[in-house]
Amino acid sequence: MPPEPSPFVAVFRSLDQAFSRAGTRWYLFGAQAALLYGAARLTADVDVTVLLGATPVNRLVEALAHSGCVLRVSDPQFIERTRVLPVVHRDTGILADVVLAGPGLEELFMSRARVHVVEELSVPVARPEDLIAMKVLAGRPKDLDDVRAVVAANRGTLDVAMIRDTLALIEGALGQSDLVPVFEELWNSRR
């Protein structure tokens, strides 16, 4: 008898089915992606970004419900304001945040996502370089710990110039100059 799939793979499978049904593209980011790139920490949720294109949000919500992912909020203003569809996977109880991609950076991350096979399921995952940029931007202690772990596990294969360029792009868009220095400190701390 084959082993039971992990609960997270069950969530990935349901999300993939929903996104296929809605005709949208997606990628995994957040702690689950960091785990795939060598971080070792506990996490109880899933974070994905979806590129809607011409798909209406209500069609995506219907596809998610059909695939066993139930919306956790009923306020449409919340979704408009945050561009996040918080769902719970009915079968596992695992929470997932479905981020609606905006133009620009998230589209770039989508175009650079890599497919990982996780328990026989193809899962598009943000590149480690893009994940590092996202985590530096988030800036929470657990995100910076993830950056350290991903850097340590992938030091010889990371495109460091891509990370710096992406962070500089974000700095320019936000009118700040503190992200590249944070990355440099984390990069140099593991040498």
Q: CA–CA separation, 81 vs 35, rounded Å?
A: 29
Whether the CA torsion 112, 166, 160, 36 is positive or negative: it is negative
Domain locations in the chain? 1-126, 128-191
- pLDDT score, position 3: 63
- pLDDT score, position 63: 97
> pLDDT of 41-63, one tens digit each?
878 899 999 999 899 999 999 99
- pLDDT score, position 103: 87
> pLDDT of 104-156, one tens digit each?
999 999 999 999 999 999 999 999 999 999 999 999 999 999 999 999 999 89
Nearest to 159 by CA among 112, 123, 90: 112
Query: Hey, what CATH topology would domain 1-126 get?
Result: Beta Polymerase; domain 2 (3.30.460)
- pLDDT score, position 1: 60
- pLDDT score, position 79: 87
**What phi and psi values does residue 132 have, to the nearest 5 degrees?**
-60, -45
The pairing of strands 121-125 and 84-89 is unpaired
Q: Does the pLDDT at position 6 exceed 90?
A: no
Q: CA–CA separation, 62 vs 169, rounded Å?
A: 35
pTM: predicted TM-score of the whole model, two decimal places = 0.93
Q: Which residue has the higher pLDDT, 144 or 75?
A: 144
If DSSP states are collapsed to H, E and C, what string results for 122-133? EEEECCHHHHHH
- pLDDT score, position 158: 97
* Cβ pair 92, 67 in contact under 8 A: no
Mean pLDDT, residues 68-95:
93
- pLDDT score, position 43: 80
Q: Which residue has the higher pLDDT, 20 or 40?
A: 20
> pLDDT of 157-175, one tens digit each?
999 999 999 999 999 999 9
